[in-house]
């Protein structure tokens, strides 16, 4: 699965940028990844619920909301109620991640849990039983264009083993520095869904970039 990140898109043309990856076949994004940043949990500030509501209305591609915000216990459910397909919160910011997961599911969304590069996955394996998605950050959250941190792939491998053995039931997603040079090693480690920003929106044809990344990941995973 490929989830283009609009953090790398032209914010003045977000509707058009999403349509560019909403074509057919392998050029169609599986999800559109939307980063919500509040300038508190991370130093950057992007967009909030009103913009996300507009994006949801503008496309039939499922919206994957990544909330890099303080107090997701209070705010996350609003994105689910707005119609986001998947809503991901950071375990480092959540007071009661299990309750958040239940609330998101009750509001009609998939529940995602994200971990920063230095956050150990082992501390949250029981919590993950309540979630539909694990988002492994392969850069420090807050800004696009960072270099891929290879060491996080050990967390991906751990999650993949737990999914394959039936201990967890979730999509393993990765976010940060995913491009033609890094997607194959992430796929070999066991990633299901790849968030790609500049690798898609920095290309001349975003749809073709989605298809090319998908082909690379599929070939690597099949080895």
Catalytic site positions:
35, 175
For residues 6 and 195, the answer to whether their CB atoms sit within 8 Å is no
Q: Phi/psi zone of residue 176: left (φ > 0), alpha (ψ -120 to 50 degrees), beta?
A: left
**What does the alpha-carbon distance between residue 40 and residue 220 come to, in Å, rounded to a whole number?**
37
């Amino acid at each position: 699965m490929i989830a283009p990140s609009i953090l790398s898109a032209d914010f003045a043309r977000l509707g058009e940028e999403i349509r560019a990856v909403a074509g057919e076949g392998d050029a169609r994004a599986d999800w559109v990844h939307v980063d919500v940043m509040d300038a508190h949990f991370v130093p950057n500030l992007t967009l909030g619920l009103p913009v996300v509501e507009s994006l949801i209305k503008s496309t039939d591609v499922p919206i994957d909301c990544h909330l890099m915000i303080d107090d997701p216990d209070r705010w996350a459910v609003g994105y689910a109620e707005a119609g986001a397909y998947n809503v991901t919160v950071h375990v480092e910011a959540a007071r009661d991640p299990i309750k958040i997961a239940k609330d998101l599911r009750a509001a009609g969304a998939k529940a995602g849990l994200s971990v920063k590069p230095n956050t150990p996955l082992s501390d949250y394996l029981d919590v993950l039983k309540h979630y539909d998605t694990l988002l492994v950050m392969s850069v420090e959250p807050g800004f696009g264009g960072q270099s891929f941190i290879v060491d996080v792939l050990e967390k991906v491998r751990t999650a993949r083993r737990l999914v394959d053995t039936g201990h967890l039931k979730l999509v393993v997603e990765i976010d940060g520095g995913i491009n033609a040079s890094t997607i194959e090693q992430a796929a070999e480690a066991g990633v299901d869904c790849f968030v790609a920003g500049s690798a898609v929106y920095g290309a001349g044809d975003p749809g073709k970039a989605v298809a090319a990344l998908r082909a690379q990941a599929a070939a690597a995973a099949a080895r």
